Amino acid sequence: MALKSFIEVHPDSHFPIQNLPYGVFKPQPGASPRPGVAIGDYVLDLSQIASAGLFNGPLLNNSDCFHQPNLNKFVSLGRPAWKEARATLQKLLSATEPTLRDNATLREKSLVHMSSVQLVLPVQIGDYTDFFSSLHHTKNCGLIFRGPQNPVLENWYHLPVAYHGRASSVVISGTDIVRPRGQAHPAPGSPPYFGPTRKLDFELEMATIVGPGNELGKPVDINNAEDHIFGVVLMNDWSARDIQAWEYVPLGPFLGKNFGTTISPWIVTLEALEPFACEAPKQDPPPLPYLTEKVSKNYDVVLEVHIKPVEHENSSVVTRSNLKHLYWTLTQQLAHHTINGCNLRPGDLLGTGTISGPEQESRGCLLELTWNGQNALSLNGVDRKFLEDGDEVTFTGYCKGDGYTIGFGKCSGKIIPSTP
């Protein structure tokens, strides 16, 4: 019999008692931010639960981790503390447990309807790294930019290629994205021009939130990498393809990416995802020993991209993909990141790279979907090659369990015109 909460949760809700994703919220505008978990249509205020002395396990009993304005301290504590918190919360919220269920005063203080809260970034992100781990995405980009000779570069099969992104411009779902201006250079030989990007794109990604970090100079072993992963969010790595194409040689993407990156507010833990673990694709050539893991896991997370064009009230699904298509696993990404001694810190964000699947409908960005603007997409009769001002892009993600859904909520953003 499935675990049930005393709060009624619709089977399609993203937030049953099996999920309990962590976020940070303000119960009212102007209130101080505090950690919470999502349960059905409510947010449970963990600072209130902590103040009531209900985190009474040995690891969290005297901790102030839920009296912080972000989750960095909690995620730094590691898996034993996460498991303790999860056990405490699943018990507290279960239909058969009276402690919270029958305490009207505490319920009043600690359960806030989701419609009235303001969600903020769940962690302070020290550094943000973006990988490039979907073979389908990599192949499509290579075909578009370099042709059929050599679409996937030789290094790609040997290491999870990545670059550093910009931490300052990571924003929470719902934040408007200002169309970036910059240089582009469509006609080789003639000088570049300057203006608002004409090739504004989304990138369908997920991202790891790092738990405990590692010391500078001390790599994380591949078979311990999972213990450094707190959980996963949806991520839209907005990209200006014309700016990117002109600037990126030889040092990689910069202004074509760093004007904004949107993440979903709820961090879904690896504990909640564990029932949806699946085998990762076989890697050929086999990776070097430092990337070879005893268990090579992906997760079966259905991903969708919805675009609501400025002309319409309704949105269209343009992409259906899945996290399981990733070639390099989350743990390989993390181990690779530290193999040179690079230190990760709690709350760091590691993007997977655009998650494209094998089919045309599972391509994770407009660059691929429209083949760099050659073929427009039709959104209920409205044509789109790239994003227009006023367009709104929403990602969703979920795992379908037996009678329940482990969901990621939404990751969305609307394009607003360049200033001035």
Active-site residue numbers? Answer: 137
> Among candidates 141, 151, 321, 174, which has minimal Cα distance to 248?
141
Restricting to residues 247-306, name those near Mg ion by CB under 5 A: 257, 261
Shortest distance in whole angstroms from residue 190 CB to a second copy: 11
Interface stretch with a second copy, choices 115-123, 167-175, 370-378, 389-397 (CB under 8 A): 167-175
DSSP helix, strand, coil percent of the chain (3-state; round to 5): 25, 30, 50
Rg, C-alpha atoms of the chain: 22
Per-residue buried b or exposed e for 186-203, using 16+ beta carbons within 10 Å of the residue's own CB:
eeeeeeeeeebbebbbbb
DSSP string across 209-254: EE-S---TT-PPPGGGGGGGEEEEEEEE--EEHHHHHHH-TTT--S
- Among 45, 201, 203, 368, the residue binding Ca ion under the rule CB under 5 A is 203
Restricting to residues 140-159, name those near a second copy by CB under 8 A: 153-155, 158-159
Backbone phi, then psi, for 29, in 5-degree steps? -55, 135
Can residue 348 be called a binding residue for Ni ion (CB under 5 A)? no
* Residue number with CB closer to Ca ion (113 or 146): 146
How many Å apart are CA 394 and CA 305, to the nearest integer?
6
Which of Mg ion, Ca ion, Ni ion, none does 130 bind, CB closer than 5 to 8 A by kind? Ca ion
Can residue 198 be called a binding residue for a second copy (CB under 8 A)? no
Q: Map residues 212-241 to x or -, x wherever contact with Mg ion holds by CB under 5 A.
A: -------------------------x----
Cα separation values, 190 from 193, 198, 319, Å: 9, 18, 36
* Residue number with CB closer to Ca ion (201 or 293): 201
Can residue 167 be called a binding residue for Ni ion (CB under 5 A)? yes
Can residue 53 be called a binding residue for a second copy (CB under 8 A)? no
Shortest distance in whole angstroms from residue 364 CB to Ca ion: 9
Which of a second copy, Ca ion, Ni ion, none does 339 bind, CB closer than 5 to 8 A by kind? a second copy
Which of Ni ion, a second copy, Mg ion, none does 237 bind, CB closer than 5 to 8 A by kind? Mg ion
Q: Map residues 110-129 to x or -, x wherever contact with a second copy holds by CB under 8 A.
A: ----------------xx-x
313 half-sphere exposure, CB direction, 13 A CA radius: 0
- Among 90, 169, 283, 316, the residue binding a second copy under the rule CB under 8 A is 169
| Angle value at C-alpha 402, between 397 and 405, nearest 5 degrees | 25
Can residue 293 be called a binding residue for Ca ion (CB under 5 A)? no
Which stretches does DSSP call E strand in 114-190?
118-120, 128-131, 162-164, 170-172, 177-178, 181-184
Rounded to the nearest 10 degrees, how much is the dihedral formed by the CA atoms of 310, 314, 317, 322? 100
Tokens 């379908």 sit on residue: 400
Shortest distance in whole angstroms from residue 127 CB to Ni ion: 4
Tokens of 142: 């290579």
* Residue number with CB closer to Ni ion (59 or 342): 342
How many Å apart are CA 120 and CA 43, to the nearest integer?
13
Can residue 127 be called a binding residue for Ni ion (CB under 5 A)? yes
Site residues, Mg ion (CB under 5 A): 237, 257, 261
Site residues, a second copy (CB under 8 A): 126-127, 129, 132, 153-155, 158-159, 161-169, 171, 178, 180-183, 185, 188, 191-192, 194, 213, 216-219, 240, 243, 246-256, 258-260, 285, 288-290, 336-337, 339-345, 348, 419
